[in-house]
Amino acid sequence: MILDAETAYPNLIFSDDLKSVRLGNKWERLPDGPERFDSCILALGSPSFISGRHYWEVEVGDKTGWVLGACEASISKKGNITLSPDKGYWVVIMMKENEYQASSVPPTRLVIKEPPKRVGIFVDYRGGSISFYNVTAGSHIYTFSSCSFSGSLQPLFSPGTHDGGKNTGPLTICPVGGQGPE
């Protein structure tokens, strides 16, 4: 899995191998097309998938804010965006240090005892679920179940805002040995 730079908010900076993303300090002059987010600090991952089970892990390190999950590939990337399942987004958000929520309707506040340094995301397309795991602690964070996906899904990433200089590190897609949790 890699990051899709064509979808990225213009302030995002990618590693050469498209495995890491962080927020830059200036707006890049990138071509604006229908696939690029223009108002939210988001980027999608590639490839997209329309069936099967998929698992990936993301190193979040000591970040104080991030968004991870999946979305329908057909979502609009322009203007204000509501991160909720009824809009095609299934994400977990670290809003600020030790404050987490799932983008359910209404949002679900999550209590995570040990802050994750690495987050695992497991999508079961046919089963209609997306689960999140604290790989660091070996624990479950949250599962969206009974999801009705329409069309292909893509991984979603946001390194968050700078948070006064405390949140400048990257999100990094990590190699995974197995196929994820069973």
pLDDT tens for each residue of 134-152: 999 999 999 999 998 989 9
pLDDT tens for each residue of 20-52: 999 988 666 666 677 888 889 999 999 999 999
* Tokens matching residue 180: 């994820």
CA-based nearest residue to 81, from 64, 93, 65, 97: 93
Look at the pTM and tell me if it is higher than 0.85.
Answer: yes
Residue 169 and residue 161 in contact, taking contact as beta carbons nearer than 8 Å: no
